[in-house]
Structure 1
């Protein structure tokens, strides 16, 4: 009988020890399942990465410089005449910016794809079905650029580098604004292509830069029928009524063609010639590489160029 009790006691001890070690193993497994980092993207999706990505494909060239600044391992991007930095020229190309070849993306076997909201959303389900993590981000405004830098830094573990880039940009913008006189500037922003002209609102790239500098967009209160927050149909009547001090023009396409279209469709009108900005020769074309494409980490340069157009004596010329 005593022997049986000893055997039962020994069995209980062994079972307890096994349970303890099993629990430790379970805890370790749970910790591993927590993954490397979890990101909430701009499509309100929660994406958990199990490890630090070493093969990133960016579906927009706007992401490339911020990714480079935090040491991301990028292996693929779209082709673009203006948007690919020299140090990424040899990356595998996955189609044009507006015509991504999703088969090429999958073929690169990335461990992370970064997609542009409003442009690449349609690829999310395909990528997920191929077990490829994808983060959808919006990067138009300056605040969104800084948010993207923060997210990329979490992915690479280089938060200090992102903080340094953000501080440098903030300081440069503060320096530009400090040079501006305390004078109210009413301005309008037109976007011209070879086919038509639209008015740019505060959420456009040029609109956000102007707002950053404290300029007043005369079209800020325009209601668009389709809810577009970046542009509205062109209205010469509105411009005459608001009579801006300055007119900025952003463009897409060959500049000679754009200027010819502006002259034909807009500038030959007597009402246009009556505008204060036109009479005082305060109509300025903005460079496409900063105001058609997202300027990204070059937002300070975009701010300086816009300010310099109005106050050339306050800034050294940008080459």
Structure 2
């Protein structure tokens, strides 16, 4: 082999190696995920690109998504929980009756589902090549985790961190105004037909725990169809004799109060409760304690604290 031939051969080999390297780089870029998420159903979800068409299957996700600049194109219809800036986006059925065909027709590049409510749609959506993440968002820690995930989805991690820091500070300010004492509380959930006891996993139970209140029903056996509630027993409640009773409700407040009177308050044993005798029975606003308060968790914490300590929390403002 002469020098000229050898030189040409080396050039050819170098070019081949370079092109092969470029080919590998292109392939890696195509297969590398934009973001990999471990969701609350224990699933690993890889997003190929930044989502630009998001459908949220719960109204609880809407405000946190908006706060980190997500592009939401669809959500459930609801009389409560839809911010004004999302009033005109496409609706995909009622919260408890999602129209999955409508969701698919919107051609989203990400669907965010609520754990325990929308899990059944995951397989159908994935069969249509639509990525799905399943999140649980009842407790404050779950709200913060969801906000962190949303901020990583939109590439606004710094904005997400600042929002969490702001919420944490507001909650700590409220807690700092409260007396250093332990209060034992009961949390009832009432409808026109039924009364249940709320456990620590419920929204009101979560807020009470954050404030350092002791839920007298914390160790009660949950209902089979609701892990955050237990059967109501006035006898058990009288035995526990809490310092305060909080009531959450679904429906018209006047109707709920009448149902409480008919089902609970007219019982003579109810009148023996210390909380009743000392007028420490409080009805909590649905907006903060029926629906997940999300970004308004500090407001929920302040609302519950003010019921028991109106003077201290007011002075701390």
In the superposition, the TM-score normalised over structure 1's length comes to 0.94
CA RMSD of aligned residues (A): 1.8
Q: Tell me by how many angstroms 1:184 deviates.
A: 1.5
Is it true that 1:123 corresponds to 2:126 in the alignment?
no
Match of 1:153 in 2: 151
Q: Is 1:182 the equivalent of 2:165?
A: no
Name 1:254's counterpart in structure 2: 252
**Distance in 2 (alpha carbons) for counterparts of 1:289 and 1:33:** 44
For structure 2, which runs of at least 5 residues remain unmatched after alignment?
none
2:241 maps to: 243
**Structure 2 equivalent of residue 282 of structure 1:** 280
Q: Determine the structure 2 residue equivalent to 1:69.
A: 67
Query: What TM-score do the two structures reach when normalised by structure 2?
Result: 0.95
Partner of 1:95: 93
Aligned 1:26-175 pairs, distance under 5 A: 26-175=24-173
1:63-122 Cα offsets, whole Å, 9 max, x none, are 000000100011111111111001111111111111111111111111111111111111
Distance 1:54 1:225 in 2: 40
Kindly state the Cα deviation for residue 316 of structure 1 after the two structures are TM-superposed. 4.2
Q: Please give the residue correspondences for 1:205-284 in structure 2 after superposition, counting only pairs within 5 Å.
A: 205-224=203-222, 226=224, 228-284=226-282
Query: Are 1:141 and 1:203, in contact at CA under 8 Å, matched by a contact in 2?
Result: yes
Does structure 1 conserve the Cα–Cα contact (< 8 Å) formed by 2:223 and 2:231? no
Query: Is this contact kept in 2: 1:207–1:217, CA < 8 A?
Result: yes
- Structure 1 match to 2:298: 300
Three-state SS of the structure 1 residue aligned to 2:141 is: helix
1:191 corresponds in structure 2 to 189
Cα deviation digits, residues 133-171 of structure 1 (max 9, x gap): 111111110000000010001100001111111011000
Residue 15 (structure 2) aligns with: 17
Q: How many aligned positions are there?
A: 315
CA contact (8 A) 2:223 2:229 kept: no
Q: For structure 1, which segment, 255-264 or 284-293, has the greater mean C-alpha deviation from structure 2 after superposition?
A: 255-264
Find the aligned partners of 2:211 and 2:21 in 1 and give their Cα distance.
59
Q: CA deviation at 1:12?
A: 6.3
SS of residue in 2 equivalent to 1:257: helix
How far is 1:254 from its partner?
Answer: 1.6
Given that residues 202 and 229 in structure 1 are in contact (C-alpha distance below 8 angstroms), is that contact kept between their aligned partners in structure 2?
Answer: no
Deviation at 1:271, TM superposition (A): 0.7
For residue 136 of structure 1, give the secondary structure of its aligned residue in structure 2: strand
SS state at 2:149 partner: helix
Range moving further from structure 2, 170-179 or 32-41: 32-41
User: Comparing 266-275 with 251-260, which one deviates more in the overlay?
Assistant: 251-260
Corresponding residue SS for 2:163:
helix
Please give the secondary structure, in 1, of the residue aligned with 2:61: helix
Pair 1:188–1:226, CA change in 2 (3 A): same
Kindly indicate whether the alpha-carbon contact (under 8 Å) linking 1:79 and 1:96 is maintained by their aligned counterparts in 2: yes
1:27 to partner: Cα distance:
2.2
